[in-house]
Chain A
């Protein structure tokens, strides 16, 4: 039947002959009837708003379902084609992270998630992870972040020290009692007081790993400086944003200043950083070098991205190993030195990233259990 007859029906302008055709059609099935009803209801209506997010979720679930072989990505070291949609990981509520059922074998490589262990002053260890909340008088956690309460001055006597440890395959977000925000990467440990004494420097220690600090300004704390100690280095801050990278396997401590001003001290040496600069302190020679840095590249991890710029494959693999908690074996050193560019979302399977790299035909990557071999 011609669609036109539906409109004519709505307009009561069917001829007798057409009426017969129409009646025959509509009585044939419920679907026919329902289509007619829909046309009738919405023919001259303007269209509804389309929910893009809902649509994307439906698609995302299908295209990322692990059926069949992984398609090959030929993403040649193409550089940063796009400034990507950046989602700070504290907003991860918006991104459905696939829940993996409980009984996973030890060899399953999983995408990193929000998790950490909080060690209280008395040595009590509290696991923090998605779905678990924890709260005391001084702090509260929803499993994705840990927030310390601001305390009034007379409450604070000798504040106790807490330690937050992020395992490989984890990340966490922390708000200290002074309002300073800290993003913590995988394989990282931070030690800090649960409250800060008035009129004395606010001091925390990045024991190892990588952290991004957004320091609550000194002006809001009677001029108290904020100090970050890292393996001998100390960063003196007045209120600013910066990243410190000092993983245990790194041979240097990298401090990158995004905003404001900081002073790096190591023993008697003191160097000032201005925004956009990065200091590299050699852990053995204690030599400090300062050079301009690609800031957005350095802090991309905090926004849920891996950003590799001219990075040797061995370093890339090291970054991946922390997030996916896998081991890396470089069987062919020369391959480890090849450099790559690329930006990837951290919320995706390791397999995807490995096949992109492999498709450049520069190196062969083999996965055995939780070990990746590079040759």
Chain B
């Protein structure tokens, strides 16, 4: 076939241009952005809802909101971060409707661990609780793993920075984090006794 353009992407568009193009109702940019972020947002929602269909519905609503209200959205952080925050709000609202609270930030901590994205919208108070919980749940992990988790989630180091600091490869960092997350989620129920009762 002659056309070599295939499924080319918007990699050249920076975040500001993406929101600008969506405000201009550019469907191509919107669709590409959707395809790039939908799965991770569904997983994120699922870490609160534990139901894939509900999660998909909520994320779809968020995307429709983005399309329809693009002009009135006041996005201070990144567009992606904004969507994460919207998804989280809607999930928490849902939980509220079934009378579930999460003052102990168990869900926030878990979703933070499993998210590929740096969640930047937590308030300082929230972060305090999350970090506190995190320190407790990592206690049972091997030392190196613990160190990486702390650097990543409490000190907000990037993968590269952790790798440099510890003199290991970025891949090692990623693998360790992946294993840590798995371990934590498996042990979560077990370590709950340790969690603060605040």
Report how many A-B pairs have Cβ atoms within 8 Å.
154
Residue in B closest to A70 when the chains form the complex, CB atoms: B25
Q: Which residues of B contact A32 (CB under 8 A)?
A: 98-99
In the complex, chain B residues 52-76 whose Cβ is within 8 Å of any chain A Cβ: 52, 56, 59-60, 63-64, 67-68
Residue B119 at the chain A interface, CB threshold 8 Å: no
Contact A83:B56 (CB < 8 A) given known A3-B95, A38-B51, A56-B35: no
Q: Which of B8, B25, B31, B102: most chain A Cβ within 10 A? A: B25
Residue A50 at the chain B interface, CB threshold 8 Å: yes
Structural contact, B99 and A25, CB atoms closer than 8 A:
yes
Q: Which residues of B contact A8 (CB under 8 A)?
A: 189, 192-193
Residue B127 at the chain A interface, CB threshold 8 Å: no
In the complex, chain B residues 115-147 whose Cβ is within 8 Å of any chain A Cβ: none
A40-48, A139-147, A154-162, A283-291: which one contacts chain B?
Answer: A40-48
Q: Is the interface of B mostly helix, strand, loop or mixed?
A: helix
B2 to chain A, nearest CB (A): 4
Interface size class of A (residues with CB under 8 A): 35 or more
Residue B7 at the chain A interface, CB threshold 8 Å: yes
Residue B77 at the chain A interface, CB threshold 8 Å: no
Q: Which residues of A contact B167 (CB under 8 A)?
A: none
Residue in A closest to B102 when the chains form the complex, CB atoms: A3
B12 to chain A, nearest CB (A): 8
Once the chains are docked, how many angstroms separate the CA of A370 from the CA of B75?
Answer: 41
Q: Which residues of A contact B193 (CB under 8 A)?
A: 8, 11, 13
Q: Which residues of A contact B154 (CB under 8 A)?
A: none
Once the chains are docked, how many angstroms separate the CA of A39 from the CA of B6?
Answer: 41
Q: Which residues of B contact A10 (CB under 8 A)?
A: 189
Residue B88 at the chain A interface, CB threshold 8 Å: no
Structural contact, B50 and A43, CB atoms closer than 8 A:
yes
Structural contact, B28 and A3, CB atoms closer than 8 A:
no
Structural contact, A7 and B68, CB atoms closer than 8 A:
no
Once the chains are docked, how many angstroms separate the CA of A49 from the CA of B68?
Answer: 27
Question: Could you give, for residues 5-21 of chain B, a 1 whenever the CB lies within 8 Å of some chain A CB and a 0 otherwise?
Answer: 11110100100000001
Structural contact, A59 and B34, CB atoms closer than 8 A:
yes
Once the chains are docked, how many angstroms separate the CA of A32 from the CA of B114?
Answer: 25
In the complex, chain A residues 208-267 whose Cβ is within 8 Å of any chain B Cβ: 214, 241, 258-259
Q: Which residues of B contact A49 (CB under 8 A)?
A: 39
Once the chains are docked, how many angstroms separate the CA of A8 from the CA of B194?
Answer: 11
Structural contact, B56 and A50, CB atoms closer than 8 A:
yes
Structural contact, B28 and A241, CB atoms closer than 8 A:
no
Contact of B100 among A3, A72, A214 (CB under 8 A): A3
Q: Which of A39, A55, A259: most chain B Cβ within 10 A? A: A55
Structural contact, B43 and A28, CB atoms closer than 8 A:
no
Contact A84:B185 (CB < 8 A) given known A74-B24, A259-B2: no
Structural contact, B25 and A55, CB atoms closer than 8 A:
no
Structural contact, A71 and B25, CB atoms closer than 8 A:
yes
Q: Which residues of B contact A56 (CB under 8 A)?
A: 31, 34-35, 38
Structural contact, B38 and A50, CB atoms closer than 8 A:
yes
Once the chains are docked, how many angstroms separate the CA of A85 from the CA of B6?
Answer: 6
Q: Which residues of A contact B79 (CB under 8 A)?
A: none
Q: Which residues of B contact A1 (CB under 8 A)?
A: 99-101
Given contacts A62-B64, A82-B28, A303-B5, 11 further A-B contacts (CB under 8 A): A1-B101, A2-B100, A2-B103, A3-B100, A38-B50, A39-B50, A43-B185, A47-B52, A50-B38, A58-B56, A241-B2
Interface set of B (CB-CB < 8 Å, partner A) = 1-3, 5-8, 10, 13, 21, 24-29, 31-32, 34-35, 38-39, 42-43, 46, 49-52, 56, 59-60, 63-64, 67-68, 95, 98-104, 106-107, 114, 182, 185-186, 188-190, 192-193, 195
Can you identify 30 A-B contacts, CB atoms within 8 angstroms? Answer: A3-B101, A3-B106, A4-B195, A7-B188, A7-B192, A8-B192, A11-B192, A25-B99, A28-B99, A32-B99, A38-B50, A41-B50, A42-B46, A42-B51, A43-B185, A47-B52, A47-B114, A56-B35, A58-B60, A59-B60, A62-B64, A63-B64, A63-B67, A73-B24, A81-B26, A84-B5, A85-B7, A86-B7, A295-B2, A303-B3
